[in-house]
Amino acid sequence: MSLYADQRYRAELAASRAGALVTREPLDGISVPQLVHPDPFLALIDLVEMFYPKPSARKGVDPLASVSPDARLAEDVAILPFATLEAGVTIGARSVVHPGVFLGKDVSIGEDCVLWPNVVIRESCRIGNRVILHPGAVVGADGFGFARREGKFLKIRHVGTVVIEDDVEIGANATIDRGTLGRTLIRSGVKIDNLVHIAHNVEIGRDSAMAAQVGISGSTIVGERVLMGGQVGLVDHLTIGDDAVLIAQSGVIGNVSEKAVVSGYPARPHREVLKIAAELRGLARLRKQIGELERELRSRARGTSDRDEKPEKPDP
Amino acid sequence: MSLYADQRYRAELAASRAGALVTREPLDGISVPQLVHPDPFLALIDLVEMFYPKPSARKGVDPLASVSPDARLAEDVAILPFATLEAGVTIGARSVVHPGVFLGKDVSIGEDCVLWPNVVIRESCRIGNRVILHPGAVVGADGFGFARREGKFLKIRHVGTVVIEDDVEIGANATIDRGTLGRTLIRSGVKIDNLVHIAHNVEIGRDSAMAAQVGISGSTIVGERVLMGGQVGLVDHLTIGDDAVLIAQSGVIGNVSEKAVVSGYPARPHREVLKIAAELRGLARLRKQIGELERELRSRARGTSDRDEKPEKPDP
Amino acid sequence: MSLYADQRYRAELAASRAGALVTREPLDGISVPQLVHPDPFLALIDLVEMFYPKPSARKGVDPLASVSPDARLAEDVAILPFATLEAGVTIGARSVVHPGVFLGKDVSIGEDCVLWPNVVIRESCRIGNRVILHPGAVVGADGFGFARREGKFLKIRHVGTVVIEDDVEIGANATIDRGTLGRTLIRSGVKIDNLVHIAHNVEIGRDSAMAAQVGISGSTIVGERVLMGGQVGLVDHLTIGDDAVLIAQSGVIGNVSEKAVVSGYPARPHREVLKIAAELRGLARLRKQIGELERELRSRARGTSDRDEKPEKPDP
């Protein structure tokens, strides 16, 4: 089964060995069955459910897990080998805690969550319902905050927390630091890809998405439905407006307004960046033009001045 | 023992406290023994084997590991404490599974592999022979793929897999996502450094190498013997030709042809980038040149026009 | 409690719901109590200790840990579930080893260290006193070093080590590779943020700091009190002078001198980069200016040459 949602890949279809095709409009010259749907990605979600039934849920606490007698587990949870649940941890109904997961003191996990192997959530952090944490994700490590005295760094102990609301997904080996005093806040519906870094006291608005390796510095506030491409970086204490788009690898050092589309370093409106890039490619030509202008002006000057103004050399 | 393979570091040699030297050509003024070899790096491989014997291989299943009765282990494997092998896992001869490793249902590992601590490989992924996975590497997490309806993201369940062929090395805390439907494919001989991100359905051709923190977006196809410097980013659905070189921090947003050398954002042929960088440094000078041209032209215009065209001030 | 240390955030204070304020100078129009201190960050350190007492230290070896009989543990250490200590490991007084930590053969850990969950330290690496390793940090994985013969990579076995001195902090999921032959060296007081990559044989001088996602290539030497913003990348074999500042996302491909402030790719003095950025924004204007000059020159040429030099068209 293959998905065809973008005109750009029309040429690749011929070479595809897919057994069936999901497409927005019927296509000519395709020998495999076509499933026509106005939104192929939505159709795909249903098709996957049909063709790839979910494995039956695991339940129970593995004898090789380390669960504090003080932890509270709702019905139908699964706690797998080598998971550690410290005192005061609560796990909502039907959530699955895979091997090697660490949940610090008083961490609370909502219902229907999946914590993949080796996820770490430090003390007091709160996770909503239907949250997915991919392998190796770290929630609630200390923020990178120090006082500096005579060139040496003094650690500011981070006593804040992380709050992750419902329906959030955090990528493999991503890191979400706890607040210095207050909280780092990931609002509901946010999707965070692998190896993303979210610093202390950041807030991410509802339904925003960050592709892999994005880095967001301390106390920056990101609006709702903001989209960030891979490897985007934001400095601290910024405000990013709702529905803004930060194109891959942008280096954002100033606030971004609602619905703005920015790129480059330092990030500017993308249209401006494209214009400058075009100008840059013409820069050598520009330099030549100026050289020619100078020569022309000089020869012209010589042509007129030789006769009536300030001859550089005496006429022989 | 020290290695001298590059003229650039000639000056550093004098200061070196190495007890011996491997060098391409005999060097004057060096007091320590010199081992001359046409390829110092190759010589180093043999020297390390001679001077640093490998520790004797560990064998057997630790009683603190969690191994499904349904897993199949070849001879002479080592399964260390707190490793989890779910049902249907197969491990080839002489492979070592370090503490904290998670192998999901039906994962297959070839012969002579080393899985360092806390590696995670999710269900159904297949690993070839002589593959090294460094600590914390994650193989087979869900790709970052969503359908969007009314501003909200709907998860596309990722039912594809990851296939890693022979002689591949994956760096510490790197992440290789599973395909949406098909597979993410890392061909034989590929070397991937730490904290690299490879998205769903990417294919990497034989003997390519990626330095640390590279990010490759979904469905991009990388050729053979491609070299990428650190922090390079590639958008989705690209094709990178064989033997291409992507210089560190490049932001690649278009296809790259065979043997091309690109850099910058958006990535362009490196020679062009160097030229533009040089032009940029001359930009202020260019602006001055133009200013002078304007002044000269204006004064010249005044010089001639004063007499015969449109005098701005009446002659006294 | 909130911290006010920067004029930039004066406007935000009004909206703050903080119950008290630490400030450098007394502020008007603020209704909550103000604690005035010449260095608010220093004051914060003391305030946190007062208001958030540290939890009482844990002690002892959990029965679910895997500790070699050959490991040496000082008094008052805590070894928590699913930690692995191989033969020859030494742990200094009062250090805490959290769940899922792996310490390879002969690793030595100093006094008062905290190794958060799932930290991996491979064989022979040495950690000083009061070092904090955040969750998922990997110390001592093989460097990314290969010999290349006929397009194929041959692994250089890495037999060096990592030495981390006192008072160092390493971020979550950061990776510090071991030396090829010698050592990778992190000097005392260095602070490394999440997801940073430090390659083989790098040396970082005392009291330097690197924000998240920085990548430093092999054998580069960083001076003392150097500051690097997020996502900075450095190529191999560079020397960075003491007190240099590398601004976020810089791509550094040449040595940087003492106290220099650099940015951009390729990294240049930041003042120069700002100038060029300003020039770039004026590039379109520059192009127009040149066009006007050309037109003026041409019309002027026609004006004079029509009469006395080379008329293009015969006068009617």
In order, the DSSP letters of C120-154 are EE-TT-EE-SS-EE-TT-EEEEPPS-EEEETTEEE
Chain C residues with beta carbon closer than 8 angstroms to that of B252: none
Cis upstream peptide for A266 (omega within 30°)? yes
The more confidently predicted of residues A55 and B215 is: B215
Nearest to B135 among C66, C120, C280 (CB): C120
Q: How many CB pairs below 8 A link B and C?
A: 184
Q: Do B136 and A136 touch (CB under 8 A)?
A: yes
Please check whether residue B41 is in contact with residue B3, taking contact to mean a CB–CB distance below 8 angstroms: yes
Instruction: Kindly tell me if the per-residue pLDDT of C304 is higher than 60.
Output: no
Of the listed C98, C158, C197, C200, which one is catalytic? C200
Strand-strand pairing, A152-155 and A146-149: antiparallel
What pLDDT, on a 0 to 100 scale, did the predictor assign at position B305? 47
Contacts of C146 in chain B (CB under 8 A): 41, 191, 209
Nearest residue on chain C to B130, alpha-carbon basis: C155
pLDDT at B14: 62
Task: Tell me how close the Cα of A236 comes to any Cα of chain B, in angstroms.
Answer: 21
**pLDDT given for residue B198 in this prediction:** 98
Q: What is the pLDDT, as a whole number, of residue A4?
A: 62
φ, ψ at A102 (rounded to 5°): -115, 125
For residue C88, the distance in angstroms to the closest alpha carbon of chain A comes to 24
Which span out of A261-270, B297-306, C100-109, C265-274 was modeled with the highest average pLDDT?
C100-109
Q: Is B307 on the interface with A (CB under 8 A)?
A: no
Q: Which residues numbered 181-210 in A keep a CB inside 8 Å of some CB on B?
A: 189, 191, 193-195, 207, 209
What is residue A294's predicted lDDT score, i.e. its pLDDT?
Answer: 82
Q: Name the residue of chain B whose CA is nearest to A64's CA.
A: B66
Q: Measured between CB atoms, does C44 come within 8 Å of chain B?
A: no
- For position A52, what pLDDT does the model report? 85
pLDDT of A315 reads: 43
Q: What value does the mean pLDDT of chain C take?
A: 90
**Chain B residues lying within 8 Å of C213, measured CB to CB:** 213
pLDDT at position A307 is 41
Range in A7-16, A217-226, A291-300 with the lowest mean pLDDT: A7-16
Residue C67 has pLDDT above 80, yes or no: yes
How much is the pLDDT for C6?
62
pLDDT given at position B10 = 66
Chain C contact probe: residue of A85, A120, A157, A250 with most C CBs at under 10 A: A120
Active site residue C200: yes
Report which residue type is found at A259: K
Q: What are the φ/ψ torsions at residue B262 (nearest 5 degrees)?
A: -120, 160
Predicted confidence at residue A2, as pLDDT, reads 62
Q: Answer whether residue C80 shows pLDDT above 90.
A: yes
* Res A13: pLDDT: 64
Rounded to 10°, the helix A283-308/C283-308 angle is 30
pLDDT at A310 over 60: no
Strands in C195-238 per DSSP E: 197-198, 203-204, 209-210, 215-216, 221-222, 227-228, 233-234
Q: What is the CA radius of gyration of chain A?
A: 29
For residue C90, give every residue at least 6 positions away whose Cβ sits within 8 Å of its Cβ, in sequence order, or none: C71, C72, C73, C74, C107, C108, C109
Read off the pTM: 0.91
Q: For the residues of B134-177, what is the DSSP string, one character each?
A: -TT-EEEEPPS-EEEETTEEEE-----EEEE-TT-EE-TT-EEE
pLDDT tens per residue, range C139-167: 999 999 999 988 899 999 999 999 999 99
Q: Which two tokens stand for residue C119?
A: 């930290």
The tokens for C116 are 């958060």
Catalytic positions of B: 200
Query: Cβ of B20 under 8 Å from any chain C Cβ?
Result: no
The pLDDT score that the predictor gives to residue C288 is 82
Q: What whole-number distance in Å separates Cα of residue B275 and Cα of residue B228? A: 21
The whole-number pLDDT of residue C1 equals: 55
pLDDT of residue C33: 85
Over residues C186-217, the pLDDT tens digits come to 999 999 999 999 999 999 999 999 999 999 99
Which residue of chain C has the CA closest to A142? Answer: C134
Angle at C307 between CA C304 and CA C309, to 5 degrees: 80
**DSSP conformation letters of B246-271:** E-TT-EE-S-B-TT-EEETTTTEEHH
The pLDDT tens digits along chain B (316 residues) read 566 666 666 666 666 667 788 888 888 877 888 889 888 888 888 888 888 888 777 899 999 999 999 999 999 999 999 999 999 999 999 999 999 999 999 999 999 999 999 999 999 999 999 999 999 999 999 999 999 988 899 999 999 999 999 999 999 999 999 999 899 999 999 999 999 999 999 999 999 999 999 999 999 999 999 999 999 999 999 999 999 999 999 999 999 999 999 999 899 999 988 888 888 877 778 878 888 888 887 787 676 544 444 434 444 4
Percent composition of chain A: helix, strand, coil (DSSP 3-state, to 5): 20, 30, 55
Cα separation, C182 vs C200, in Å, equals 9
Identify residue A265 by its one-letter amino acid code.
Answer: Y
Chain A neighbors of C264, CB-CB under 8 A: 265
> Between chains, do C82 and B80 touch, taking CB under 8 Å as contact?
no
Omega before residue C266 within 30° of 0, cis = yes
